With several copies, the nearest count.
Chain A
Amino acid sequence: MVTATSFSVEAIRKEFPILATRLGDKPLVYLDNAATAQKPQVTLDAMDEFWRTSNANIHRGVHHLSQMATAQFDTARETVRRFLGARHAHECLFTKGCTEGINLVAQSYARPRLKPADEILLSTMEHHSNIVPWQLVAEQTGAIVRPIPINDDGEIDLAAYGRLLNERTKIVGLVHISNSLGTINPIKAMIAQAHAAGAVVLIDGAQAGPHLPIDVQDLDADFYTLSCHKIYAPTGMGVLYGKEALLEAMPPYHGGGDMIRTVSFEGSTFAGLPNKFEAGTPNVGGVVGLGATLKWLMALDREEVERHEAELVGYAETLLSDIPGVRLIGKARQKAAIVSFVMDTAHPHDIGTVLDAEGIAIRAGHHCCMPVMERLGVPATARASFGLYNTREEVEALARGVQKVKEIFG
Chain B
Amino acid sequence: MSFDLRELYQEIILDHYRHPRNQREPERATAHSEGHNPLCGDKITVSVRTENGQLAEVGYHASGCAISVASASLMSEAVKGKPLGEVERLCKEFQGAVTSPDGGEFPEMGDLNALAGVREHPVRIKCATLPWHALRAALSGVDKMVTTE
Contact = CB atoms under 8 A, between A and B. Distances in A.
Contacts of B8: 353
B14 A409 contact: yes
A354 B36 CA distance: 23
A409 B65 CA distance: 12
A62 interface: yes
A151 to B, nearest CB: 23
Interface in A329-370: 346-350, 353-354, 356-357, 359, 364-366, 370
Interface string A137-156: 00000000000000000000
Contact of A379 (B1, B2, B5, B41): B41
A262 B66 contact: no
B64 A347 contact: yes
Contacts of B127: 349
B38 A260 contact: yes
Interface in B41-71: 41-43, 63-67
B65 A350 contact: yes
Interface residues of A, number: 38
A357 B40 contact: no
A12 B17 CA distance: 43
A408 B121 contact: no
B1 A359 contact: yes
Contacts of B38: 260-262, 271
A62 B42 CA distance: 14
Given A261-B36, A275-B149, A353-B8, A67 B122 contact: yes
Contact of A357 (B1, B41, B67): B1
Contact of A354 (B5, B42, B122, B149): B5
Contact of B43 (A67, A70, A379): A379
B142 interface: no
A24 to B, nearest CB: 4
B91 to A, nearest CB: 21
Interface in A29-76: 59-62, 64, 66-67, 70-71
A66 to B, nearest CB: 8
B40 A380 contact: yes
Interface in B19-41: 36, 38-41
B41 A373 contact: yes
Interface in A90-147: none
A272 interface: yes
Interface in B91-149: 121-124, 127, 147, 149
A262 B149 CA distance: 12
A62 B1 contact: no
Nearest to A346: B66
A373 to B, nearest CB: 7
Nearest to A23: B1
Contacts of A66: 123
B1 A349 contact: no
A365 B39 contact: yes
B143 to A, nearest CB: 12
A272 B149 CA distance: 8
Contact of B40 (A261, A365, A409): A365
A188 interface: no
A271 B148 CA distance: 10
Contact of A353 (B2, B63, B124, B149): B124
Interface string A363-396: 0111000100100000110000000000000000
A266 to B, nearest CB: 16
Contact of B41 (A59, A62, A366): A366
A196 B145 CA distance: 37
Contacts of A364: 40
Contacts of A64: 1
A165 B21 CA distance: 50
Contacts of A67: 122-123
A255 B40 CA distance: 19
Contacts of A14: none
A356 B123 CA distance: 12
26 contacts: A24-B1, A24-B2, A25-B2, A26-B1, A62-B123, A71-B122, A262-B36, A272-B147, A347-B64, A348-B65, A349-B42, A349-B64, A349-B67, A350-B9, A350-B65, A350-B66, A356-B1, A357-B2, A357-B5, A359-B1, A364-B40, A370-B41, A379-B64, A408-B5, A408-B14, A409-B66
List 4 A-B pairs, minimum CB-CB distance, nearest first. A23-B1, A24-B2, A24-B1, A349-B65
Given A24-B1, A59-B39, A365-B41, 7 more contacts: A70-B123, A272-B149, A347-B64, A350-B66, A408-B5, A408-B9, A409-B9
